[in-house]
Amino acid sequence: MSRAPVDAVVLVSGQGTNLQAIINAVEASRLDLRIVDVISNRADANGLQRAARHGIPTIIVDQRHYAAREDFDKALLDTINAAKPELVVLAGYMRILDDTFVEHYAGRLLNIHPSLLPKYPGLGTHARAIANGDSLHGCSVHFVTAELDGGPVIARSAVAVHAGDDVATLSARVHLAEHKLYPEVIKWFVAGRLQLIDGNATLDGKPMPEPTDLAFDAIAATG
């Protein structure tokens, strides 16, 4: 059953191009989402300016303003809870969320990661793909669990690695794939099709097909 419109909070730390892709999808009426707040741990995150340009309220919760890690985690959770979101979208948010947070939003917490998970969790994914001579690289959207970049994968989008690629050229190509993939996955959530059941990502109540590099295209074609 559709959940639309869905209230969401988006967390950013940097450029916010994925946030922009989501905003664009909303403004083009392709995505029935209400972005209630954009929250950042960095006052200089460009994503905050993007949000402000589109009239979306912004909030900064900066870890440097808290004496202890737990105080910061609590402040962030309280700030997000105050917005009463049905969905929390991590879009280049560069802090690890604590277990309480992750459990609180289990099944309602999405992240996009710049690799074909389970390959290359963590940082430096583009350089690692190039160094290993991979012919395919890409991005994955997954439910967030306590394991860093280890939650159930929902969908992936692959791009070719070209001869002569460097981190800049490859990451630019992956970003384009991210900007298509993330709004589509969020659309499944909004439509009530996407759920985390017994630790598995499910679409229409069925486990997602094993993520292959074509999985996203195949599923998108049916939905």
**Residues near ligand GRF (CB under 6 A):** 12, 14-18, 47, 91-92, 112-114, 139, 178
In terms of CB distance, is 3 or 128 closer to ligand GRF? 128
CB within 8 Å of 25: residues ≥ 6 apart: 31, 33, 183, 186, 187
How far apart, in Å, are the Cα atoms of 215 and each of 13, 100, 143, 210, 220?
Answer: 29, 32, 16, 8, 8
In this structure, the strands spanning 6-12 and 87-90 are parallel
Percent helix / strand / coil, the chain, rounded to 5: 35, 25, 40
Q: Is 113 a catalytic residue?
A: yes
In terms of CB distance, is 17 or 187 closer to ligand GRF? 17
The residue among 128, 134, 138, 120 whose CA lies nearest residue 162 is: 134
Write down the catalytic residue from 65, 104, 113, 137: 113
In terms of CB distance, is 76 or 177 closer to ligand GRF? 177
Among left, alpha and beta (phi > 0; psi -120 to 50; other), residue 205 is left
Q: How far is the CB of 18 from ligand GRF (least distance, A)?
A: 3
CA distance 107 to 193: 12
Phi, psi of 141 (to 5 degrees): -110, 135
In terms of CB distance, is 182 or 188 closer to ligand GRF? 182
Q: How far is the CB of 222 from ligand GRF (least distance, A)?
A: 25
Q: How far is the CB of 127 from ligand GRF (least distance, A)?
A: 13
Please work out, in degrees rounded to the nearest 5, the angle formed at the alpha carbon of residue 70 by the alpha carbons of 67 and 73.
105
Q: How far is the CB of 172 from ligand GRF (least distance, A)?
A: 10
Of all residues in the shown chain, the one whose CB is closest to ligand GRF is 92
- Positions marked active-site: 113
